[in-house]
Structure formats: C-alpha cells, structure tokens
Amino acid sequence: MMQKSYYPKAGELTQQWHIVDASGQNLGRLAARIAKVLMGKHRPKYTPGVDMGDYVIVTNCGQITVTGNKMIEKVYYRHSGYPGGLTEIRLRRMLRTHPERVIQAAVRGMLPHTKQGRQLIKKLKVYAGTDHPHGPQNPQPLTV
C-alpha cells in the first residue's frame, strides 16, 4: 500500500497575525525571525513553494539597535533612474527620517528574490510608533 504525501492547498491554510515590538531589538536577529514567520518555516508542515506564512506587524521600528559601527558605516543606496541619480543614506539618518524602510530592507533581503518573495513582503506591516490600524485582526505577540 502506497502512502500519499501531503501537499497543502491554499484554502486549507489559516494565516495568523503576529505583532512585534522592535524597541531594543537587534536589527539582523529581528529581521531573520520575521522572515522565518513570513515564509511559514515556523510551522510543522512547512512546504516550500506554498504561501504558509503569517502576517507580521512591527511597531517602534525607530528604536532598533545594531552592533558594531553599523550606525555610521552602513549605507543604503537608491537610484532615481536618471544619470547621476545615485543617492546614499547612512543608517543613522534613515532611522531618523524613514525608520520603516530599515526593517523592510532587512527583511526583504532575507526573503527569496522571486515572485513568492514579492508576495511575502506584502504581509509585513511596519510602523514607526506604537499605533497600528490592525486591531480587528487580533494580532498575537511574537516572541523574538
């Protein structure tokens, strides 16, 4: 008798909402844990290629910590598309102006660089303060 292998269907999956307070957390360790939950690797029946991940809400992202000299040495680049349009922003300035982008960039780098990764990053909701509009989803705290 042959045993059939289990392959989860999209309708069978229930996705949960998790909330993380980023104040005092290390950026890389926090991003790795968030990426794992977004991909669904925390579930016992994880299947690559199937969106089994949960939604993650990150609050207080402006109060993260980093080790070493990353605060002054880490640089984020973006290009406008025009000649000479390369812009450099240091981590310290990015945390002052757009702290949400720091967490999003760190998590995006840890997700697959495929169509599935682009879908997973949409499940990440990042906010600079403590307030977020996802109260009706009843998010559960994620232990990091």
Could you tell me the CATH number of the domain that includes residue 60? 3.90.1180.10
Instruction: Say if 26 falls within a structural domain.
Output: yes
Q: Report the alpha-carbon distance of residue 63 to residue 35 in Å, rounded.
A: 19
What pTM does this model have? 0.91
Instruction: Say if 90 falls within a structural domain.
Output: no
**pLDDT (0 to 100) of residue 144:** 54
Instruction: Say if 19 falls within a structural domain.
Output: yes
Residue 24 belongs to domain spanning: 15-66+99-141
Q: How many CB atoms lie within 10 A of CB 1?
A: 2
Instruction: Say if 126 falls within a structural domain.
Output: yes
**pLDDT (0 to 100) of residue 5:** 84
- Stretch among 47-51, 76-80, 133-137 having the lowest mean pLDDT: 47-51
Query: How would DSSP label each residue in 3-59?
Result: PPPP---GGG----EEEEE-TT-BHHHHHHHHHHHHHTTTSTT--TTS----EEEEE
Q: What domain count does the chain have? A: 1
